[in-house]
Amino acid sequence: MTAIKLDGREVSEAVRNRLASAISDLDFVPALHFVRVGENPASVSYVRSKERLAASLGVASHVHVLPADASQAAVMNTVQHLNTEADVDGILVQLPLPDHLDSAPVLQAIDPAKDVDGLHPINVGRLWAGQDGLFPCTPLGLIAILKYYDIAIESKNVVIVGRSNLVGKPAAALFLREHATVTVAHSRTMDLAGLCQQADILVSAVGSPAMITPDVVKAGAAVLDVGLTRVNGAIQGDVHPDVWDKAGYLTPMPGGTGRMTTAMLMENTYRAALGRRRSALASFAS
Amino acid sequence: MTAIKLDGREVSEAVRNRLASAISDLDFVPALHFVRVGENPASVSYVRSKERLAASLGVASHVHVLPADASQAAVMNTVQHLNTEADVDGILVQLPLPDHLDSAPVLQAIDPAKDVDGLHPINVGRLWAGQDGLFPCTPLGLIAILKYYDIAIESKNVVIVGRSNLVGKPAAALFLREHATVTVAHSRTMDLAGLCQQADILVSAVGSPAMITPDVVKAGAAVLDVGLTRVNGAIQGDVHPDVWDKAGYLTPMPGGTGRMTTAMLMENTYRAALGRRRSALASFAS
């Protein structure tokens, strides 16, 4: 038995095509602004690839580069300035920030309506309270990929390994909203294997290469690999390749969940732009 | 085998004694303000008992009563006025509101620093982001009762039945913060029995009398009953009385988790008062 590939390239292309079409129908150009501090090569490369994707969809982008020794105040001021600019729809502060900076106050300084990474506490609160808001991109991508392949979520046992603010916890919220039974496991979980074996949908977001071996996967389960480790220059996921013979569905690495993350970032930018400009219109009309 | 009683009366008394002592050491009187709309007898009685508890601890309280047909704007205005009053430390809007009112915007109108019920989205976000904030009272009470009885939480399997904004979801966040492995189950969960049987700590917050029967409880587990149903004038919990012979620890009903909720409300009021007045002092000094 070989698992069906949950092809992030294919799903993200579908999302991108839908978005490009919706964006071309707008009477304005959505604008996404990046804040990058220093020249961390991975950050430079991530921002560049997001910019390229934005351009291909008709989203304007701009990168605000601060020196590696920028002060906390300088980063905050940059964000606050972008908050006030009427034609800035989305603000993304590329993480990680240099060690001398505290990211929490920076993320909280972002106008929640422009918070396309969905990390502002008020967006986190809206996510858990069942309200509308901007939510983290990687978890949104997991739901989108499952829906694209018509994999049922409601009433399924979803086990999420990893409890980060970026993936594990917001994924739990989104799966609960889809009426799954959700378990969050982590480094202090006892009998992780026994837990994973009960998962209809298994999400691994740990960053420990090949830790999800076939023996811990339920036959036929959908397995979503969010772990990402660079080993001697090659990218490795959390899921062992032998899981292809046990799972029913599996995301490849690369070409799986990571592809979805950037697509959902563009969807968040589109949604932020619509939300902001419509409410500006509404307040203009009133 | 008979379960050890997790005595909410005893634990809440310990919390109250600690609070009364801490409050008597303050050089100000914390003030808790209630907003009650209409004369729903349960609401009248809840507010009255919280007022009585506040008085016994040295907390000043005041009830703002609006007529049952009060407009949304009138309720919002009341909250906004209390936000601006320097000597109001905590604001509690007694739920449920009459049917013609929308509670979400009312709760979001409360200054997060005065949000002693912990239901403002920004406090929900802080809870999930691992930050300080004001968090919902009933889940806080569950953690407090377990700690009082030295019941280990870290690495334990916690199953929470019910996913309300008031109990289930915030309880999941607090148990995750304590490093438990957390599962949230609900009405659409398949094989609820099998899931509950794996719980070292089982929280039931459904409101379905005696639904938690001994066969679904792991021998020796700690069972926390948050369900509350009035049957012919008597209060019944979610947990069947026969669970006393199977569980290791069990909260009685009444005298269990409900007692903790009001105690934690007073703790939130104390914390809100300290936080506000200290930051006022800090800004005065700067």
A190 vs B131: CB contact, 8 Å cut-off? no
- Cβ of A195 within 8 Å of Cβ of B179? The answer is no
Domains along chain B with CATH numbers:
29-111 (3.40.50.10860), 136-259 (3.40.50.720)
Residues from B contacting A (CB-CB < 8 Å) are: 104, 120-126, 128-131, 154-157, 163, 165, 169, 172-173, 176, 179, 181-186, 188-190, 195
* pLDDT exceeds 60 at position A283: no
Give ∠ CA A158-A11-A19 in degrees, rounded to 5: 115
Q: What is the mean pLDDT of chain A?
A: 95
Among B125, B179, B188, the residue with its CB nearest the CB of A155 is: B188
**B126:A129 CB<8 A:** no
**How much of chain B exceeds pLDDT 90, in percent?**
93
Residue A231 pLDDT level (bands cut at 50, 70, 90): confident
In this predicted structure, the answer to whether residue A18 has a pLDDT above a threshold of 80 is: yes
Which residues from chain A sit within 8 angstroms of residue B139, using beta carbons? none
Catalogue the long-range contacts made by B235-241 (C-beta closer than 8 Å, 24 or more residues apart). Answer: B236/B209, B236/B210, B237/B204, B237/B209, B237/B210, B238/B161, B238/B204, B238/B205, B238/B206, B238/B207, B238/B208, B238/B209, B238/B210, B238/B211, B238/B212, B239/B204, B239/B210, B239/B212, B240/B210, B240/B211, B240/B212, B240/B213, B240/B214, B241/B210
- Mutation target for B interface from A135, A166, A182, A197: give the one with most B CBs within 10 A: A182
Residue type for position A27: D
pLDDT given for residue A280 in this prediction: 65
| Nearest CA-CA partner of B238 in B202, B263, B262 | B202
Of A104, A157, A184, the CB nearest to B176: A184
pLDDT at A277: 87
pLDDT in tens, B233-286: 888 999 999 999 999 999 999 999 999 999 999 999 999 999 998 876 665 554
Gap between the Cα atoms of A267 and B185, Å rounded = 30
Q: What is the ipTM of this complex?
A: 0.93
The pair of structure tokens assigned to B45 is 């009685």
- Torsion sign, CA atoms A47, A52, A58, A64: positive
pLDDT at A285 over 70: no
Query: Residue A271 belongs to what H/E stretch?
Result: helix A257-285
A189 is written with which tokens?
A: 């979980």
Q: What is the pLDDT of residues B132-141, one digit of tens each?
A: 999 999 999 9
Contact B201, B158 (CB under 8 A): yes
The pLDDT assigned to A286 comes to 45
Partner residues linked to B74 by β-bridges: none
Residues of chain A in contact with residue B129, where contact means CB-CB under 8 angstroms, are 104, 121, 124, 165
pLDDT of A195 reads: 97
Nearest CB neighbour to A182, from listed B104, B154, B183? B183
Alpha-carbon B191 to chain mean position: 28
DSSP letter at A218?
P
**Residue A284: is its pLDDT beyond 60?**
no
Going by C-alpha positions, the residue among A88, A105, A175, A192 that lies closest to residue A138 is A175
Question: Is there a contact between A165 and B125 if contact means CB atoms under 8 Å apart?
Answer: no
Q: Respond yes or no on whether the N-terminal peptide bond of residue A112 is cis (omega within 30° of 0).
A: no
For the segment A189-214, the average pLDDT, to the nearest whole number, is 97
Look at A42-51, A227-236, A257-266 and tell me which has the smallest mean pLDDT.
A227-236
For residues B86 and B238, the answer to whether their CB atoms sit within 8 Å is no
Residues B143-166 have a mean pLDDT of 98
Condensed to tens digits (0 to 9), the pLDDT of residues B50-102 reads 999 999 999 999 999 999 999 999 999 999 999 999 999 999 999 999 999 99
The pLDDT of residue B286 is 45
* Percent of chain A residues past pLDDT 70, beyond the cut: 97
Confidence of residue A136 (pLDDT cuts 50, 70, 90): very high
Q: Are A153 and A16 in contact (CB under 8 A)?
A: no
Q: What is the mean pLDDT of chain B?
A: 95
